[in-house]
Amino acid sequence: MNQQDLESRFQDKIDREVKIEAKDWMPDAYRKTLIRQISQHAHSEVVGMLPEGNWITRAPSLRRKAALLAKVQDEGGHGLYLYAAAETMGVSRDQLLDELHTGKAKYSSIFNYPALSWADMGAIGWLVDGAAIMNQVMLQRTSYGPYSRAMIRICKEESFHQRQGYEILLTLVRGSAEQKAMAQDSLNRWWWPSLMMFGPSDAESTHSAQSMAWKIKRKSNDVLRQAFVDATVPQAQYLGLTIPDPDLKWNEETGHWEFGPIDWDEFWNVVKGNGICNRQRLRDRVNAHEEGAWVRDAALAYAEKKQARKAVVTP
């Protein structure tokens, strides 16, 4: 079969909603796009453990500590499913990690902002996980089978993350004036970066058109961002908090919340490595990897020992 026939058969499968599996033929550019997106996603999950991991020892009660610990562990697990999904495309985990550690690979801009107060654990769960879910629900139906299946499990866990964050804020806004102010300050700092998580506007998004045609992405950056704003404004109102956007207003005709302009200079500055915490996050990630080398070595030695024993028992 020539290249053109292979490509049209591939696109036909996508159009018929048949999942593409690891051993199926696929265009090189499809493979490349998926390795890029899945690995960026995996990196985001593991770098995303850092801002919250920082608060585990300072959680205000045993219950809060247990929930936060479980959430951070879940993020590590998400990284694992996603690295495994990327590996099915023929790339090694070592290579992907190397790209992260040398600053070549991207991860979500949001994790380059500092978590300054306990209320930030609430805002991260509510807004950051909330934005992540909005994007990931559509990724459950992405065209690549292993990615789609990983996303189904991840989405279930993300819902718990979002609720635990919202509940932290609900408790704070019902507390003292100082606690409510802490919650408001947190919303002020996390609102705009959360909107940036969805990526550049559709007009500026380089990959969207092709990724939509391949059904890797099923909804555009702007459509998802709007859905997030529409879902989140009433939640902020219920908390009695003010979204830091003077242009925010309800449009009766469209049935959507209109919002003010996003500071794209800030977004690109963070993406290019110059956000408040970029350097610190990378340094912490590299240190964690190096300090964990003995665990990987031990696991490998154990696996080799088991393999060798099996070879002796079963001739």
Residues in touch with ligand BYC (CB under 6 A): 36-37, 40-41, 44-45, 48, 75, 106, 108-109, 128-129, 132, 135, 196-200, 205-208, 211, 217, 221, 271
Pick the closer one to ligand BYC by CB: 180 or 211. Answer: 211
Burial zone of 197 (CB within 10 Å; 0-12 exposed, 13-18 middle, 19+ buried): buried
Pick the closer one to ligand BYC by CB: 153 or 242. Answer: 153
Report the residue number whose CB is nearest to ligand BYC: 48
The CB-of-200 to ligand BYC minimum distance in angstroms stands at 5
Q: How far apart are CA 289 and CA 283, in angstroms?
A: 10
Pick the closer one to ligand BYC by CB: 188 or 205. Answer: 205
Residue 173, C-beta contacts closer than 8 angstroms, at least 6 positions apart: 179, 180, 183, 239, 240, 241
Q: How far apart are CA 222 and CA 234, in angstroms?
A: 19
Residue 125, C-beta contacts closer than 8 angstroms, at least 6 positions apart: 71, 161, 162, 163, 164, 165, 166, 168
The CB-of-246 to ligand BYC minimum distance in angstroms stands at 24
Pick the closer one to ligand BYC by CB: 263 or 304. Answer: 263
Token pair for residue 46? 């593991």
Pick the closer one to ligand BYC by CB: 123 or 180. Answer: 123
Token pair for residue 27? 């265009």
Q: What is the C-alpha R_g of the chain?
A: 21
The CB-of-13 to ligand BYC minimum distance in angstroms stands at 21
